[in-house]
Structure 1
Amino acid sequence: MMNLFMDSVLIHMGSMYSALGKFEKSMHVYQRVIATLERKHGKGSAFLVSPLLGMAKILGSIGKATTAIEVYQRVISILESSRGAESKDLVVPLSGLGNLLIKEGRATDAESLFNRILSIYKESYGEYDGRFGMALCSVAHVKCATGNAEEAINLYRKALQVIKDADYMALDDSIMERMRIDLAELLHVVGRGNEGRELLEECLLITEKYKGKDHPSSVTHLINLATSYSQSKNYVEAERLLRTSLEIMMKSVRPDDSSITFPMLHLAVTLYRLNQDEEAEQLALEVLRIREKAFGKDSLPVGEALDCLVSIQTRLGKSEAELLELLKQVLKIQEKEFGYESEEVMRTLKKIVFYLDKTGRKDEKFSMQKRLSVLRMKYKQMMQY
């Protein structure tokens, strides 16, 4: 009995070290437990399942996918032998292995694993149980990863309906919310924006019902809806939603909190599209001020704000020399964050060449034009393969 208790304590320690990010210590503990259990009960013992799963999770986290896959497969084999091929205990290792395969770009291999989980839940609980609905959602996710968007959409819809009808979890549960948002994003990708917006509006209404109209958690839904309306070129509605999100945030965070710059920059872009350039410029400048203070002048968030500001100030007729300096700052940030040969750098180089030409700086323009030509050739060759 004491030995079993000690093994349990060690497994808990392994889990604790893993949660703290101390993977090396966690691995050492799991290896010790596994070696002990193998000596006592044999390599096919079900006692090995828990520490093996812990080890597989860590191996996946630290980039040792091949070894992690082998460990997951060993767990599955042990459980099949000891508890049968339809055991509910198989769900955890099957899911862990499936998610790892998706992460490794092997979604096709993962599909059979999630279909197997679906079969286990169907056999155990029936097709109207919330757990079956959750399994449907996992299959939808893998269908999406394999590029089968239409089937994924149908499965997501069915999953949401099963979970709702079964009253398996609250409508405002974060998992349900994530499923609706995932489905909405997928619908937008395939060009069914109206259906996607309906789901985003449902998310907003549920949040307002359970948490109140001015609750900060509604901001995400307001911004998602605004983005959807912007994609359909309904900038007036997008502006209204973004102003509402900004008002809510201003009540819950400090005026210079960096989180406020996300809806603020979105609003600046929307106002630019509505030709309200003066207000758009003021918002972009405020975003720039807050982000420089929060993240530093050479940070990617600052580069994003500068890029937006350049577009606005170009139409406002600001001096080409000033715009050129801003673009050079954007280029410096993008080179650091994305690399000297990134697409982002190529787009900014194109703008810089344009303004160098306008300002008559021919020598500088020649070197930048040469660099841009090399990048364009590189990407043209990549597109041919």
Structure 2
Amino acid sequence: MRQGDKDAAKSVFHGVLDKEGASVALAAYQLGQMAEGDLNYAEAMRMYKKAVVLEEDKPEYLLAAGKMARKLAEFKQAQEWLEHLREIREAEGDGANLGNVLNELALVYKDQFQLAKADFLHRRALDVREKIFGEEHQDTAESLNDLAFLCREQCRYEEAESLFKRAVDTREKIFGKDHPDVAESLNNLAGLYRTQARYTEAELLYQRSLEIKEKTLVPHHPSIATSLNNIAMFYKNKGKYFDAELLYQRALSIKEKSIGEAHPSFAITLNNLVNLYRDQGRYIEAEPLYYRALNVREKIFGRDHQHIAGSYEGIATLYKNQGKCAEAEHLYQKAIDIKERLLGKDHLSLAVTICNLADLYQNQEMYQEAEKLNSRALYIREEILGKEHPSVANSLNNFANLYRLQKRYAEAEPLYQRALSIMREKFPGGHPKVDRYQKDYDELKQKMAEQQAAATQEKNHV
């Protein structure tokens, strides 16, 4: 391995696997590390599992296995290993190693939308790291950043902004103002502003983040591509499709040269570009690229992973927009099956796919089927996020639109009102969705007025 002869090293490690003793677990762990470096996550997981089975109390093996299980969306397994590692580290006392596992375990709970547990663990990890390292340390900044993401997920925007700003300040004190880690923190703060529709502030931070990376990193560094991808998403949301396309293409070119096509990050940017084509109605260009992204993901994650479900969903939406309803329904169902099997039947990611399928049924005037799915999505979102979350408002608005199409105006009206109330409270400075929901509600009021006028006219005629 030190000589760089990976093939010879793999051969020797494989020769140890059928032996006995601690060396077998070490060989499996090293093979897992090599497979992970090669982006062969399925093989890495297989080797890490073997190492943990052979030495179930070895911290290095548990951490590597837990992280890989999270990456492969095997959240229950990740939780089991990391909880065991947490017990080991807590027995040692409040050290740096405990802070690491608490933070990693918090991310696993966040991925399962067990947000209260994630919040507790992130805050404890931050407390441990601040006590050990102080406020000006990279691990402390990492905890601030991860806790901020969680707060954003819960719509606690003021707290999220404060934490992101603290992470920026901490990294500036450690590294100076022109450092890639500072750029990453600025990028995260920009993402929060974009969520809040604070577009002017977001764009300034995105551009500053990119400038720092371009000044401090080599021209084809993957981190530059990540910034380009994020700015492209921002432009897409603003309807600046031409600018977004140029940035996506530049990001793809950088990733192809730096990390290659067979990398999850390449597939993400490729998928974003294809979504842009789809939203512009450029279906002929989009379809082969969707399948290209799907093939990349299948090579990395296998065929039973939430990223595969995401690819199916993207292609299904493409077919839905083209009026290919049968093909779209089949792929939405496949995506739902994968998510239910991997994530459970009450996962937030599942609610998104269910809403998309409901919209497909609604377009076909299959209102009963659409209503059942919208009801299920609303239940999932309220249970996980609470009743005053923007995602809940989205479900309420979908329900109201469905009722309006069926001329069930009296049932639609309170749902529109509740959706608008949630969004106005969460985004007092305004938000594009507030405008869209208001437009939908105005159309309902117009329909109700027309219905009332027709009823009055008929009564007068009689």
TM-score (norm 2): 0.52
After superposition, give the CA deviation of every residue in 1:256-294 in whole Å (9 maximum; x if it has no partner).
Answer: 655422111211211232344443343334334545666
* Aligned residue identity for 1:346: Y
* Aligned residue identity for 1:375: K
3-state SS in 2 of match to 1:250: helix
Distance, in Å, in 2 between the alignment partners of 1:112 and 1:210 is: 32
Distance, in Å, in 1 between the alignment partners of 2:25 and 2:262 is: 39
Report if aligned partners of 1:140, 1:156 keep a CA contact under 8 Å in 2: yes
Q: Does 1:368 pair with 2:343? A: no
| Distance 1:154-1:216 versus aligned 2 partners, 3 A rule | closer
Residue 160 of structure 1: aligned partner: 129
Once the two structures are TM-superposed, the CA of residue 59 in structure 1 deviates from its matched residue by 3.8
3-state SS in 2 of match to 1:344: helix
Distance, in Å, in 1 between the alignment partners of 2:240 and 2:197 is: 15
Q: Does 1:354 pair with 2:320? A: yes
| Distance 1:24-1:311 versus aligned 2 partners, 3 A rule | closer
After superposition, give the CA deviation of every residue in 1:81-123 in whole Å (9 maximum; x if it has no partner).
Answer: xxxxxxxxxxxx5x446536745532343343222112xxxxx
* Aligned residue identity for 2:85: A
Q: 1:235 aligns with which of 199, 203, 209?
A: 199
Report if aligned partners of 1:139, 1:155 keep a CA contact under 8 Å in 2: no
Q: Does 1:250 pair with 2:209? A: no
Q: Does 1:140 pair with 2:99? A: no
Q: 2:309 aligns with which of 343, 358, 382?
A: 343
Once the two structures are TM-superposed, the CA of residue 242 in structure 1 deviates from its matched residue by 0.7
Distance, in Å, in 2 between the alignment partners of 1:240 and 1:248 is: 12
Residue 122 of structure 1: aligned partner: none
Report if aligned partners of 1:281, 1:309 keep a CA contact under 8 Å in 2: yes
Q: Does 1:262 pair with 2:226? A: yes
Residue 370 of structure 2: aligned partner: none
Once the two structures are TM-superposed, the CA of residue 68 in structure 1 deviates from its matched residue by 4.5
Distance, in Å, in 2 between the alignment partners of 1:100 and 1:286 is: 33
More displaced 10-residue stretch of structure 1: 148-157 or 100-109 = 100-109
Report if aligned partners of 1:98, 1:113 keep a CA contact under 8 Å in 2: no
Q: 1:112 aligns with which of 66, 83, 87?
A: 87
Q: Does 1:171 pair with 2:136? A: yes
Report if aligned partners of 1:180, 1:199 keep a CA contact under 8 Å in 2: yes
After superposition, give the CA deviation of every residue in 1:34-85 in whole Å (9 maximum; x if it has no partner).
Answer: 99xxxxxxxxxxxxxxxx5x76544444426456555465xxxxxxxxxxxx
| Distance 1:28-1:193 versus aligned 2 partners, 3 A rule | farther
* Aligned residue identity for 2:226: F
After superposition, give the CA deviation of every residue in 1:289-335 in whole Å (9 maximum; x if it has no partner).
Answer: 545666778976565445434555566xx5x4xx1122212222133
3-state SS in 2 of match to 1:194: helix
Distance, in Å, in 2 between the alignment partners of 1:373 and 1:20 is: 41
Distance, in Å, in 1 between the alignment partners of 2:253 and 2:28 is: 42
Once the two structures are TM-superposed, the CA of residue 220 in structure 1 deviates from its matched residue by 1.6
After superposition, give the CA deviation of every residue in 1:166-191 in whole Å (9 maximum; x if it has no partner).
Answer: xxxx824x444434334434444455
Q: Does 1:329 pair with 2:273? A: no
* Aligned residue identity for 1:204: V
Distance, in Å, in 2 between the alignment partners of 1:97 and 1:306 is: 33
Distance, in Å, in 2 between the alignment partners of 1:141 and 1:298 is: 29
Distance, in Å, in 2 between the alignment partners of 1:329 and 1:305 is: 15
Once the two structures are TM-superposed, the CA of residue 353 in structure 1 deviates from its matched residue by 1.6
| Distance 1:72-1:248 versus aligned 2 partners, 3 A rule | same
| Distance 1:116-1:24 versus aligned 2 partners, 3 A rule | farther
More displaced 10-residue stretch of structure 1: 147-156 or 326-335 = 147-156
Report if aligned partners of 1:265, 1:287 keep a CA contact under 8 Å in 2: yes
| Distance 1:160-1:376 versus aligned 2 partners, 3 A rule | closer
After superposition, give the CA deviation of every residue in 1:213-235 in whole Å (9 maximum; x if it has no partner).
Answer: 22333222222222233334433
Q: Does 1:271 pair with 2:235? A: yes
Aligned length: 303
* Aligned residue identity for 1:332: Y
Report if aligned partners of 1:200, 1:225 keep a CA contact under 8 Å in 2: yes
Distance, in Å, in 1 between the alignment partners of 2:190 and 2:14 is: 46
Residue 186 of structure 2: aligned partner: 222
Distance, in Å, in 1 between the alignment partners of 2:339 and 2:52 is: 38
* Aligned residue identity for 2:84: D
| Structure number, greater radius of gyration | 1
* Aligned residue identity for 1:153: H
Report if aligned partners of 1:334, 1:345 keep a CA contact under 8 Å in 2: yes
Distance, in Å, in 2 between the alignment partners of 1:18 and 1:256 is: 24
* Aligned residue identity for 1:198: S
Distance, in Å, in 2 between the alignment partners of 1:299 and 1:265 is: 15
* Aligned residue identity for 1:338: R
